[in-house]
């Protein structure tokens, strides 16, 4: 059957081995020749010009000859390296550094395109690749992990080949960061987990021979900060302070009465408003496109009024750290403590995220069912969403129980 698909017009090239032919229903010439493994292959020259096709076929064949020559030389090249390894090992001269050099030579022989990368280069490339698959906040977190370890490891280690990174160096960084006491154990552990993923990727790419961070122990996260909600009076103090800008007033009101995270609040515009409801895909669920709908309280509706476009253009344009610092200053000016002591002597911290805790606490105090609270905060699973699709009225009743601001 296949004879009908090919024209019987084989044309030898000027150089000899490669052959040109045409397939039925195709205007292009195909080149048939032996590849580096000695197998007969066919490749399209992507041209209908016989002269151009001949030139391309000759190039295909020349590349194949080069591949065959390299393949023939490869066993001998490997043998030379292995002989040196054996000789130095027998003489007791095979150090770890020399072994790494031999590994790099073998890498180059096995894959001529092998490119040695520094820890900084590979880690940054890994972070950049993650931005296509994760939310903005998660990608920013990966960058913070890199920055944290880059500063602690130092330029000498970060600019050295990634395969030279040793477990002892990583353990040293973890101990250094712990002793500094300026970062929480959970923050350090998160950065270590990211490094493990980076090295696992490097291992899969053949860039390293082992994951140096795999057996590094995490820190005990006993220093994790407990979050606490604000009181109604404290939130009113934040809103009513004379130095609180209109954008900050709106952000605080919406944060307290929708439970949205700061990044989601600052991304709001009139496009998120559907009548008296707020509809948004939170940044943390951007990949799954999970939509949450929150009925707006009179306070939220009053602040939004007839605003058009972005609601928080000034705050949104700022760096995240700047915005967080501004909120802490608003707390200080309003005499709202950042840290409070809970029952049992437990110290808890308040930030903008505490408005989310406040929202959930108010709903719980009003005996709103846990499933409704989960749907309003966007924490519910897909199963709960399916089970409670009739909750629209319940959501309205839930939000109606919130204190008036």
130-143: pLDDT as tens digits: 888 887 878 889 99
pLDDT band at 70 (very low <50, low <70, confident <90, very high): low
- SS3 labels along 344-390: HHCEEECCCCHHHHHHHHHHHHCCCCHHHHHHHHCCCCHHHHHHCCC
pLDDT band at 14 (very low <50, low <70, confident <90, very high): very low
In a shared domain, residues 242 and 196: no
Is 89's pLDDT higher than 90? no
pLDDT at 127: 92
In a shared domain, residues 44 and 130: no
Question: Is 82 part of a structural domain of the chain?
Answer: no
With tokens 């996260």, the residue in question is: 221
CATH number at residue 321: 1.10.443.10
Question: Is 249 part of a structural domain of the chain?
Answer: yes
The segment with the largest mean pLDDT, out of 192-196, 228-232, 319-323, is 192-196
Is 331's pLDDT higher than 70? yes
Question: Is 83 part of a structural domain of the chain?
Answer: no
In a shared domain, residues 273 and 377: yes
Final residue in a domain of this structure, among 41, 67, 93: 67
In a shared domain, residues 35 and 165: no
The secondary structure of 141-166 as a DSSP string is HHHHHHHHHHHHH-HHHHTSBGGG--
In a shared domain, residues 317 and 350: yes
With tokens 């900084």, the residue in question is: 120
CATH number at residue 142: 1.10.150.130
pLDDT at 361: 85
pLDDT band at 150 (very low <50, low <70, confident <90, very high): very high
Question: Is 218 part of a structural domain of the chain?
Answer: no
* Other beta carbons less than 10 A from residue 265's beta carbon: 24
Provide the angle, in degrees to the nearest 10, between the axes of the packed helices 136-153 and 185-204. 90
Residues 148-157: what's their mean pLDDT? 93
Please count the structural domains in the chain: 3
pLDDT at 6: 44
220-269: pLDDT as tens digits: 865 556 788 899 999 999 999 999 999 999 999 999 999 899 999 999 99
The overall average pLDDT reported for the chain is 82
pLDDT at 3: 39
Question: Is 103 part of a structural domain of the chain?
Answer: no
The whole-angstrom separation of Cα 272 and Cα 348 is 33
Is 41's pLDDT higher than 70? yes
Q: Which tokens hold the place of 357?
A: 């805790």
Is 10's pLDDT higher than 50? no
The secondary structure of 218-254 as a DSSP string is PPP-TTPPEE-PPPHHHHHHHHH-TTS-HHHHHHHHH
Question: Is 153 part of a structural domain of the chain?
Answer: yes
In a shared domain, residues 357 and 255: yes
pLDDT band at 191 (very low <50, low <70, confident <90, very high): very high
* CB crowding 356-372: b at 16 or more within 10 Å, else e: bbbbbbbbeeeebeeeb
In a shared domain, residues 188 and 251: no
- Contacts of 269 by beta carbon, 8 Å cutoff, 6+ apart: 309, 310, 311
In a shared domain, residues 19 and 141: no
pLDDT band at 108 (very low <50, low <70, confident <90, very high): low
pTM for this predicted structure: 0.52
Q: Which tokens hold the place of 308?
A: 């058009």
Question: Of all residues in the chain, what percent carry a pLDDT higher than 90?
Answer: 38
Final residue in a domain of this structure, among 67, 86, 111: 67
Question: Is 75 part of a structural domain of the chain?
Answer: no
Provide the angle, in degrees to the nearest 10, between the axes of the packed helices 370-377 and 354-365. 150
Question: Is 322 part of a structural domain of the chain?
Answer: yes
In a shared domain, residues 383 and 328: yes
In a shared domain, residues 186 and 248: no
Structural domain of 347: 226-400
In a shared domain, residues 245 and 197: no
Final residue in a domain of this structure, among 139, 169, 204: 204
In a shared domain, residues 194 and 325: no
């Amino acid at each position: 059957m296949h004879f009908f698909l090919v024209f019987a017009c084989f044309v030898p090239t000027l150089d000899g081995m490669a052959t040109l032919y045409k397939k039925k229903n195709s205007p292009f010439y195909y080149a048939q020749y032996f590849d580096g493994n000695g197998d007969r292959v066919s490749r399209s020259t992507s041209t209908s010009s016989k002269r151009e096709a001949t030139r391309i076929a000759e190039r295909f064949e020349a590349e194949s000859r080069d591949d065959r020559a390299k393949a023939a030389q490869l066993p001998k090249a490997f043998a030379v390296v292995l002989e040196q390894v054996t000789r130095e090992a027998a003489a007791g001269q095979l150090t770890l550094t020399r072994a790494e050099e031999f590994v790099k030579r073998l890498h180059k022989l096995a894959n001529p395109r092998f490119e040695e990368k520094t820890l900084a280069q590979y880690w940054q490339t890994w972070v950049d690749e993650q931005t296509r698959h994760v939310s903005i906040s998660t990608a920013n977190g990966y960058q913070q992990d890199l920055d944290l370890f880059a500063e602690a490891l130092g330029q000498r280690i970060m600019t050295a080949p990634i395969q030279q990174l040793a477990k002892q160096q990583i353990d040293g960084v973890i101990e250094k960061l712990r002793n500094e006491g300026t970062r929480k154990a959970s923050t350090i552990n998160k950065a270590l987990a990211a490094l493990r993923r980076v090295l696992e990727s490097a291992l899969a790419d053949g860039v390293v021979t082992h994951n140096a961070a795999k057996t590094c122990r995490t820190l005990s996260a006993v220093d994790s900060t407990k979050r606490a909600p604000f009181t109604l009076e404290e939130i009113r103090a934040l809103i009513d302070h004379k130095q609180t800008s209109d954008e900050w007033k709106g952000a605080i009101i919406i944060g307290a009465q929708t439970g949205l995270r700061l990044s989601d609040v600052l991304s709001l515009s009139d496009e998120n408003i559907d009548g008296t409801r707020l509809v948004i895909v939170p940044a943390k669920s951007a990949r799954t496109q999970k939509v949450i709908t929150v009925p707006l309280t009179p306070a939220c509706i009053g602040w939004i009024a007839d605003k058009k476009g972005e609601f928080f253009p000034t705050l949104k344009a700022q760096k995240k750290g700047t915005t967080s610092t501004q909120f802490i200053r608003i707390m200080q000016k309003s005499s709202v403590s950042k840290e409070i002591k809970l029952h049992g002597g437990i110290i808890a911290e308040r930030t903008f995220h505490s408005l989310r805790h406040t929202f959930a606490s108010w709903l719980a105090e009003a005996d709103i069912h846990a499933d409704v609270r989960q749907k309003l905060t966007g924490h519910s699973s897909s199963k709960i969403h399916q089970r409670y699709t009739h909750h629209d009225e319940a959501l309205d009743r839930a939000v109606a129980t919130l204190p008036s601001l």
